Amino acid sequence: MATIAAVSTPNAVGGIAVIRISGDNAVSVAEKIFTPFGGKNVADMEGYTCAYGIAHDGDERIDDCILTIFKAPHSYTGEDTAEISCHGGLFVSKKILRAALKNGAATAEAGEFTKRAFLNGKLDLTQAEAVMDVISAKGELELKMAENLREGAVFKAAKKCSARLLKLLSGLAAWTDYPDEDIPEVAPDAILEELTAVREDLQALTADYDRGRIVREGVATAIVGRPNVGKSTLFNCLSGCERSIVTNIAGTTRDVVEESVRLGDITLRLSDTAGIRETDDIIEGIGVEIAWKTVESAELVLAVFDGSCPLTADDFDLIDKVKNKKCVAVVNKSDEEMVLESEKLEEHFIHFVYISAKENQGIKDLENAVKELFELNSDSFSSVTAANERQKLCIERATEAVSSAIEALEFGEMLDAVNVLVDEAEQSLLELTGERITDAVVDEVFSRFCVGK
């Protein structure tokens, strides 16, 4: 493969920038554009050693830099790798990169360094996918999930299931292919027991998927309530800026205002909706209709009530409409005298909190309520969870094939049919780990990476 190069640090001004070069000719490319102080020869540098010197383009000096050499196979990519750390200016880093490209390197594609690590056996496909999850993690739970994946949790679990299926396949193949040999007959009951255990292990790999998706992608959240209960104030409080207009005039919010915010370790894709009430105003009525549609599609509803006044007919209408949704009742205006009949809310909501959106009080209680509602506490997560739709699909196909094999055994089908279904499950697990996968799938996985990683 060609020797490739890219700037591996963000496209922004910073303290340092790193230009990564990887491939058979990485050291020779580095030698042409970097001269160590003290007369040291780049070609003679050992792996995991550094040199301080000058990066240059021919006779033109570019910057004082540090060169680090990694020798194959003990590098991130599994190839000879050279990394030049320079001052973190956009122009200087691109100038060094251009010098590398002029002297034998090719421009790296998105994710090509990690792709080479996968192709060279340094990472399995699930670990490679975890690299971008680590980079994009925005909170503790996301990072924990990504680190579990990067450490090979899904790979190890899949390989354990795969080994059990291979053992079954070898026994079935020997018995069916060599019927005249003195080979013990395969016992259907033993196969059924083993397949049932494998299916349970596979199902565990996707058990936490939806919660994991919420942690990674955020939860679609609708803030709803009648006019003037403080929906927009709560929206602005969570957003950290004035995104929604706040007045004491009922019906100010006519359309849905959206924003993604962090609530502790959780991302909420917030939608601030029009105040829900009976109205003769045509435009406001359209806003109310849109609000109800937003509630229907939301994964989480923050039902806001005004604690400074009794519950109204519009409040009870809201309570009825959200009774089948994941919902937190938010009693706002806790900084004022509480008049709302809280015991009536307790009859309808498991999760409710008291806040003052205006004074930014009670937000931590709201965070804890959302975590509890979605069971997002750190110790509640399985350490082994599919991280994306590709992994989930592979595991589901394997689970479906194993389930079909179990049904075939229970209905007394020939063992040949069971053998085919078990083999289908095994192929799906090999696709999961990347041991058997098409180039198109590999390219699609790494196309989501940034250039330089």
One domain for residues 371 and 389: no
Instruction: Give the residue among 4, 57, 69 at the shortest CA–CA distance from 33.
Output: 57
Domain assignment present for residue 213? The answer is: no
Q: Which of 326, 360, 379 is the last residue of a domain?
A: 379
Of 90, 108, 126, the position where a domain reaches its end is 108
Q: 56 and 99 in contact (C-beta within 8 Å)?
A: yes
Beta bridge partners of 451: 110
The answer to whether the Cα torsion of 339, 341, 345, 350 is positive or negative is positive
315, 336: one domain? yes
58: its two tokens: 């021919």
Domain shared by 361 and 427, yes or no? no
Is residue 435 in a domain? yes
Does residue 431 lie in a domain region?
yes
7: three-class secondary structure by DSSP: strand
Long-range contacts of 91-97 (CB under 8 A, 24+ apart): 92/17, 92/62, 92/63, 93/7, 93/9, 93/17, 93/19, 94/7, 95/57, 95/62, 95/63, 96/19, 96/33, 96/55, 96/62, 96/63, 96/65, 97/5, 97/6, 97/7, 97/19
Residues in the chain: 453
Residue 16 lies inside a defined structural domain of this protein: yes
Of 414, 423, 385, 407, the C-alpha closest to 196 is 407
Residue 264 maps to a domain? no
| Same domain assignment for residues 100 and 144 | no
CA nearest to 61, candidates 85, 95, 29: 95
pLDDT for 378: 59
Under 8 Å between Cβ of 373 and 351: yes
Q: Does one domain contain both 102 and 233?
A: no
Residues 197 and 279 both lie in one domain? no
Can you give the CATH number for the domain in which 245 is found?
A: 3.40.50.300
User: Looking at the structure, do residues 246 and 197 belong to the same domain, yes or no?
Assistant: no
Nearest to 329 by CA among 295, 361, 306, 308: 306
Q: How many Cα atoms sit within 13 Å of 151 on the Cβ side?
A: 10
Same domain, 191 and 334: no
Same domain, 233 and 313: yes
Do residue 60 and residue 78 come from a single domain? Answer: yes
Q: Which residues pair with 57 in a beta bridge?
A: 60
Q: Return the CATH number at 19.
A: 3.30.1360.120
Whether 341 and 364 map to the same domain: the answer is: yes
CATH number of the domain at 144, please. Answer: 1.20.120.430
> What range defines the domain where residue 175 resides?
140-208+385-446
Looking at residue 238, its pLDDT comes to 85
Q: Is residue 133 part of a domain?
A: no
**Amino acid identity, position 205:** L
Q: Is residue 115 part of a domain?
A: no
Looking up tokens 């100010």, which residue turns up?
252
End-to-end CA distance of the chain: 17
Q: Residue 18's pLDDT is what?
A: 96
Do 228 and 371 reside in the same domain of the chain? yes
Give the DSSP H or E segment for 181: none
DSSP 442: H
Give the domain-ending residue among 362, 379, 396: 379
* pLDDT tens across the length of the chain (453 residues): 899 999 999 888 889 999 999 999 999 999 999 999 988 899 999 999 999 999 999 999 999 999 999 999 999 999 999 999 999 989 999 999 999 999 999 999 989 999 999 999 998 888 888 888 888 777 777 777 778 778 888 889 999 999 999 888 887 776 555 555 555 556 778 888 999 999 999 998 888 788 778 777 788 888 888 888 888 888 888 887 554 444 343 444 434 567 888 888 788 888 877 766 666 566 666 777 777 788 888 889 998 898 888 988 888 888 888 888 899 998 998 888 888 888 888 888 889 889 988 888 999 998 899 888 887 765 655 567 888 889 999 999 999 999 999 999 888 877 788 889 999 999 999 999 988 887 887 888 887 778 787
Angle between helices 415-433 and 125-136 in degrees, nearest 10: 40
Tally of domains in the chain: 3
Residue 36 falls in which region: left (phi positive, over 0), alpha (psi -120 to 50) or beta? beta
Report which of 277, 268, 284 is spatially closest to residue 235, judged by C-alpha positions: 268
Our measurement of the distance from residue 54's CA atom to the centroid of its chain's CA atoms, rounded to an integer in Å, reads 40
Residue 377 has a pLDDT of: 66
- What is the Cα–Cα distance from 260 to 56, expressed in whole angstroms? 44
Question: Which phi-psi region, left, alpha or beta, contains residue 290 (left: φ > 0; alpha: ψ -120 to 50)?
Answer: alpha
Helix axes 125-136, 140-150, angle to 10 degrees: 160
Q: DSSP labels for 210-234?
A: HHHHHHHH-EEEEEE-STTSSHHHH
